[in-house]
Amino acid sequence: MKLAVFKELNDQRVSIIPASIPKLLALGVEVLVEKSAGKEAFYDDQEYKEVGAEIVERSFLLSNADVAISIHPLAEKERSLLSSSCLLVAEFQPFNQTDISQKLKETNFQALSLDMIPRTTLAQSMDVLSSMASISGYKAVLEAARLLPRYFPMMITAAGSIRPAKVLVLGAGVAGLQSIATARRLGAMVEAFDTRSAAKEEVKSLGAKFIEIEGATEDTGAGGYAVAQSEDFLKRQREEVQLRASKSDIIITTAQVRGRKAPLLVPTSTVEKMKKGSVIIDLAASTGGNCELTKNNELVNHNGVFIYGDSNLASKMPQDASQLYSTNLLNFIKLFIKEGNLQLDLENEIIKSALITKDAQ
Amino acid sequence: MKLAVFKELNDQRVSIIPASIPKLLALGVEVLVEKSAGKEAFYDDQEYKEVGAEIVERSFLLSNADVAISIHPLAEKERSLLSSSCLLVAEFQPFNQTDISQKLKETNFQALSLDMIPRTTLAQSMDVLSSMASISGYKAVLEAARLLPRYFPMMITAAGSIRPAKVLVLGAGVAGLQSIATARRLGAMVEAFDTRSAAKEEVKSLGAKFIEIEGATEDTGAGGYAVAQSEDFLKRQREEVQLRASKSDIIITTAQVRGRKAPLLVPTSTVEKMKKGSVIIDLAASTGGNCELTKNNELVNHNGVFIYGDSNLASKMPQDASQLYSTNLLNFIKLFIKEGNLQLDLENEIIKSALITKDAQ
Amino acid sequence: MGFSFIINLSYLVGAFSFVWGLRLLSSPDSARRGNIFAGIGMGVAIVATMIMPLVDAANNYAWILGGMAIGGIIGLISARRVQMTSMPQMVSIFNGLGGACAVVLAMAELNNYYAGINEMSLGAVGIALFTLFIGGIAFTGSLLAFAKLEGLVWDSTVTLPKHNIINMILLVVTLTLGIYLFLNDSLTLALVFMALSLVYGFSFVAPIGGADMPVVISLLNSFTGLSAAAAGLIYGNNLMLVGGILVGASGTILTVLMCNAMNRSLFNVLIGGFGGSAAAGKSLDGDQVAKSVNINDAAIQLFYSQSVIIVPGYGLAVAQAQKVCKEVDDLLEANGVDVKYAIHPVAGRMPGHMNVLLAEADVPYPKLLDLEEANAALKSTDVVVVVGANDVVNPSAEDDPASPIYGMPVLKVWDAKTIIVLKRSMRPGYAGIQNPLFFHEKNKMLFGDAKDSLSKLASEIKTL
Amino acid sequence: MGFSFIINLSYLVGAFSFVWGLRLLSSPDSARRGNIFAGIGMGVAIVATMIMPLVDAANNYAWILGGMAIGGIIGLISARRVQMTSMPQMVSIFNGLGGACAVVLAMAELNNYYAGINEMSLGAVGIALFTLFIGGIAFTGSLLAFAKLEGLVWDSTVTLPKHNIINMILLVVTLTLGIYLFLNDSLTLALVFMALSLVYGFSFVAPIGGADMPVVISLLNSFTGLSAAAAGLIYGNNLMLVGGILVGASGTILTVLMCNAMNRSLFNVLIGGFGGSAAAGKSLDGDQVAKSVNINDAAIQLFYSQSVIIVPGYGLAVAQAQKVCKEVDDLLEANGVDVKYAIHPVAGRMPGHMNVLLAEADVPYPKLLDLEEANAALKSTDVVVVVGANDVVNPSAEDDPASPIYGMPVLKVWDAKTIIVLKRSMRPGYAGIQNPLFFHEKNKMLFGDAKDSLSKLASEIKTL
Amino acid sequence: MEQFFEFFNENLILIYLLIFTIVLGFEVISKVPTVLHTPLMSGANAISGVVIIGAILLIRQATPDDYLTLSLGVIAIILGMINVVGGFAVTDRMLEMFKKKK
Amino acid sequence: MEQFFEFFNENLILIYLLIFTIVLGFEVISKVPTVLHTPLMSGANAISGVVIIGAILLIRQATPDDYLTLSLGVIAIILGMINVVGGFAVTDRMLEMFKKKK
Ligand SMILES: NC(=O)c1ccc[n+]([C@@H]2O[C@H](COP(=O)([O-])OP(=O)(O)OC[C@H]3O[C@@H](n4cnc5c(N)ncnc54)[C@H](OP(=O)(O)O)[C@@H]3O)[C@@H](O)[C@H]2O)c1
Ligand SMILES: NC(=O)c1ccc[n+]([C@@H]2O[C@H](COP(=O)([O-])OP(=O)(O)OC[C@H]3O[C@@H](n4cnc5c(N)ncnc54)[C@H](OP(=O)(O)O)[C@@H]3O)[C@@H](O)[C@H]2O)c1
Ligand SMILES: NC(=O)c1ccc[n+]([C@@H]2O[C@H](COP(=O)([O-])OP(=O)(O)OC[C@H]3O[C@@H](n4cnc5c(N)ncnc54)[C@H](O)[C@@H]3O)[C@@H](O)[C@H]2O)c1
Ligand SMILES: NC(=O)c1ccc[n+]([C@@H]2O[C@H](COP(=O)([O-])OP(=O)(O)OC[C@H]3O[C@@H](n4cnc5c(N)ncnc54)[C@H](O)[C@@H]3O)[C@@H](O)[C@H]2O)c1
Please tell me whether residues C353 and C415 are part of one structural domain. yes
Those residues whose C-beta lies under 8 Å from the C-beta of residue D263, and which sit 6 or more positions away, are none
Q: Are residue C5 and residue C149 in the same domain, yes or no?
A: no
Residue C461's nearest CA partner among C335, C280, C291 is C335
Contact residues, chain E, for D9 at CB < 8 Å: 8
Nearest protein Cα to ligand 4, atom 41? B224
The whole-angstrom separation of Cα E87 and Cα B301 is 79
Distance, CA of D385 to CA of D387 (rounded, Å): 6
The CA B223 to ligand 3 mean position distance, Å, reads: 56
**For chain C, what is the domain count?**
3
Say yes or no: E50 and E94 in one domain.
yes
Distant-in-sequence, close-in-space partners of C100: CB < 8 Å, separation ≥ 6: C135, C139, E79
Give the pLDDT score at C286: 42
pLDDT digits (tens, 9 = 90+) for B136-180: 999 999 999 999 999 999 999 989 889 999 999 999 999 999 999
Domains of chain A plus CATH, in order, are 2-126+318-354 (3.40.50.720), 132-315 (3.40.50.720)
CA of E37 vs chain C CAs: smallest distance (Å): 7
Which of these is catalytic: C155, C212, C329, C391?
Answer: C391
Give me the numbers of helices (H) and strands (E) for chain C, helices first please.
17, 8
Residues E77, E93, single domain; the answer is: yes
Residue C390 located in a structural domain? yes
Q: Has residue A349 got a pLDDT over 80?
A: yes
Of A122, A134, A181, Cβ closest to residue C404: A122
Residue C320 to residue A207, Cβ atoms within 8 A = yes
Asked if D178 and D269 sit in the same domain, the reply is yes
Ligand 4 site, residue B263, Cβ cutoff 6 A? yes
CA distance A104 to A110: 7
CB–CB contact C359 B154 (8 Å): yes
The reply to whether C360 touches chain D by the CB within 8 Å rule is: yes
**In contact, C411 and C385? CB cutoff 8 Å:** no
Ligand in nearest proximity to the CA of C356:
1
CA dihedral C38, C40, C46, C52 (to 10 degrees): -110
Distance from CA of B158 to the nearest CA of C (A): 4
Residues F42, F1 share a domain: no
Q: Within 10 Å of residue B19's Cβ, how many Cβ atoms?
A: 16
Q: Which residue owns the Cα nearest ligand 2 atom 29?
A: D315
- Chains C, D: CB pairs < 8 Å: 4
> Is residue A154 within 8 Å of A163, Cβ to Cβ?
yes
CB B32 within 8 A of CB B5: yes
Contact D349 B124 (CB under 8 A): no
Do residues C329 and C442 both lie within one domain?
yes
pLDDT over 60 (residue B355)? yes
- B233 close to ligand 4 (CB < 6 Angstrom): no
Residue D287 lies in a domain: no
Q: Which of C282, B266, D106, A5 is nearest to F76 (CA)?
A: D106
Whether chain B has a CB inside 8 Å of the CB on C368: the answer is yes
Q: Which residue in B has a C-alpha nearest to residue A129's C-alpha?
A: B159
Which residues span the domain enclosing F41? Answer: 35-102
Does ligand 4 come within 6 angstroms of the Cβ of B93?
Answer: no
Based on the domain organization, do E24 and E40 belong to the same domain?
no
Q: Is residue D212 domain-shared with residue D192, that is, in the same domain?
A: yes
Residue D357 Cα, ligand 2 centroid: separation in angstroms? 14
Task: Looking at the structure, tell me whether residues D70 and D212 fall in a common domain.
Answer: no
Number of the ligand closest to the Cα of A224? 3
Comparing B1 with C152, which gets the higher pLDDT?
B1
For residues E4 and E50, state if they share a domain: no
- Min CA distance, E69 vs chain D (Å)? 40
User: With contact defined as beta carbons under 8 Å apart, do B215 and B236 qualify?
Assistant: yes
Same domain, C12 and C123: no
A291 - beta bridge partners? A266
Distance CA C172, CA B345 (A): 103
Residues 6+ positions from D330 with CB-CB distance below 8 Å: none
CA-to-CA distance for C146 and C94, rounded, in angstroms?
A: 10
Domain membership flag for residue C282? no
**Which ligand has the nearest atom to the CA of C322?**
1
Which residues are CB-neighbours of A223 under 8 A, at least 6 positions away?
A118, A119, A120
pTM confidence score: 0.79
Strand segments, DSSP code E, in chain B are 2-5, 30-34, 54-56, 67-69, 87-90, 110-113, 155-157, 160-162, 166-170, 189-193, 209-210, 250-253, 279-282, 298-302, 305-309, 337-338, 341-342
Instruction: Write phi, then psi, for D440 (nearest 5 degrees).
Output: -65, 145
Tell me the CA–centroid distance for residue B261 and ligand 4, in Å: 15
Q: Quick one: C336 and C262 in the same domain?
A: no
Q: Are residues F59 and F88 in the same domain?
A: yes
Residue D392 distance to chain A (closest CA, Å):
11
Question: By alpha-carbon position, which residue is closest to atom 18 of ligand 4?
Answer: B256
List the catalytic residues of D.
391
Per-residue pLDDT of chain C (464 residues; tens, 9 = 90+): 678 888 989 999 999 999 999 989 888 778 899 999 999 999 999 999 999 888 888 888 999 999 999 999 999 999 988 877 778 888 999 999 999 999 999 999 999 898 888 888 888 899 999 999 999 999 999 999 988 887 777 655 566 777 778 888 999 999 999 999 988 888 999 999 999 999 999 988 888 876 678 889 999 999 999 999 999 988 889 899 999 999 999 999 999 888 877 667 888 777 654 433 333 333 344 445 677 787 877 888 898 888 999 999 999 999 999 999 999 999 999 988 999 999 999 999 998 899 999 998 989 999 999 999 999 999 999 999 999 999 999 999 998 888 889 989 999 999 998 899 999 999 999 988 999 999 887 888 899 999 999 998 998 888 77
Q: Which B positions 137-176 lie with beta carbon below 8 A of chain C? A: 153-164
Are B and D touching by the rule of 3+ CB pairs within 8 Å?
yes
> Are A153 and D356 in contact, with CB atoms under 8 Å apart?
yes
Start-to-end CA distance of chain A, whole Å, equals 28
A 10 A CB-CB count for B78 gives: 17
Among the partner residues C349, C430, C431, nearest to A205 by beta-carbon distance: C349
> Are both F62 and F102 inside the same structural domain?
yes
Pick from C35, C55, C81: which residue ends a domain?
Answer: C81
Instruction: Kindly give the interhelix angle for F52-61 and D87-114, rounded to the nearest 10 degrees.
Output: 30
Q: Is the pLDDT of residue B293 over 90?
A: yes
Domain count, chain E: 2
Q: What's the sign of the alpha-carbon dihedral C118, C121, C122, C124? A: negative
SS3 B261: coil
Which is higher by pLDDT, C462 or B289? B289
Per-residue three-class SS string for D84-112: HHHHHHHHHHHHHHHHHHHHHHHHHHHHH
Residue C56's region, left for phi above 0, alpha for psi from -120 to 50, else beta, is: left
Q: Residue D242: which of E8, E9, E16 has the nearest Cβ?
A: E16
F65 in the same domain as F43: yes
CATH of the domain at C340: 3.40.50.1220
Are B185 and D356 a contacting pair at CB < 8 A? Answer: yes
Give the closest-approach CA distance of D7 to chain E in angstroms: 10
Flag whether residue C431 sits within 8 Å of chain A, measured between CB atoms: yes
Write phi, then psi, for A305 (nearest 5 degrees).
-105, 125
pLDDT tens digits, one per residue of E61-91 = 888 888 888 999 999 999 999 999 999 999 9
Query: pLDDT per residue over D45-96, tens digit each?
Result: 999 999 988 888 888 899 999 999 999 999 999 998 887 777 888 999 999 9
Domain that holds residue D333: 295-462
Touch of C by F (3+ CB pairs closer than 8 Å): yes
Q: Which of A130, A178, A286, A315 is catalytic?
A: A130
Q: Are residues F99 and F57 in the same domain?
A: yes
Q: Are D388 and D422 in contact (CB under 8 A)?
A: yes
User: Is C99 found in the same domain as C27?
Assistant: no
- In contact, B240 and B210? CB cutoff 8 Å: no
Q: State which residue of chain D sits closest to C359, comparing Cα positions.
A: D360
Which of D47, D64, D81 finishes a domain?
D81
F25 with F43, same domain: the answer is no
Q: Quick check: CB of B134 below 6 Å from ligand 2? A: no
This model of the complex carries an ipTM of 0.75
Interface mutation vs chain C, best among B152, B157, B184, most C CBs within 10 Å: B157
At B282, give phi and psi (nearest 5°). Answer: -110, 105
Q: Report which bound ligand comes closest to the CA of A169.
A: 3
Q: List chains touching D (3+ CB pairs under 8 A).
A: A, B, C, E, F
pLDDT of residue A220: 72
pLDDT band at D282 (very low <50, low <70, confident <90, very high): very low
| Chain F: partners with 3+ C-beta pairs within 8 Å | C, D, E
Segment A192-209 shows an average pLDDT of 92
Residue C379 · residue C415 · CB < 8 Å: yes
C205 occurs within a structural domain: yes
Ligand nearest to the CA of A230: 3
Same domain? E10 vs E57: no
E partners (3+ CB pairs within 8 A) are C, D, F
Residues A336, A341, A344, A349: is their CA dihedral positive or negative?
negative
Mean pLDDT of B1-15: 95
Instruction: Quote the CA–CA distance of B29 and D266 in Å, as a whole number.
Output: 71
Residue nearest to atom 11 of ligand 1 (CA): C430
Q: Contact at 8 Å (CB) between D283 and D426?
A: no
- Per the annotation, the verdict on A48 as an active-site residue is no
Query: Which residue, C51, C81, C111, sits at the end of a domain?
Result: C81
Q: Say yes or no for a CB contact (<8 Å) between C370 and B161.
A: yes
With beta carbons less than 8 A apart as the criterion, state whether A47 and A18 touch: yes
User: Of all protein residues, whose CA lies closest to atom 5 belonging to ligand 1?
Assistant: C349
d(CA C186, CA A359): 99
Asked whether C445 lines ligand 1 (CB < 6 A), one says: no
Same domain as C236, residue C207: yes
Check if C424 has its Cβ closer than 6 Å to any atom of ligand 1.
yes
| Centre of ligand 3 from the C-alpha of residue A174, in Å | 6
The residues facing D339 across adjacent strands are: D308
Q: Is chain A adjacent to chain D, meaning 3+ CB pairs within 8 angstroms?
A: yes
Q: What percent of chain A has pLDDT over 90?
A: 75
- Cβ neighbours of F1 in C, within 8 Å: 2
Whether the predicted pLDDT of D278 surpasses 80: no
Alpha-carbon distance E13 to nearest alpha carbon in chain F (angstroms):
6
Considering the domain architecture, whether residues C256 and C308 belong to the same structural domain is answered as: no
Residues E21 and E45 in one domain: no
**Candidate list A184, A225, A260, A319, residue with the active-site label:** A225
Q: Are residues D341 and D458 in the same domain?
A: yes
- Name the β-bridge partners of B253: B170, B282
Measured CA to CA, the distance from residue F54 to residue C277 in angstroms comes to 61
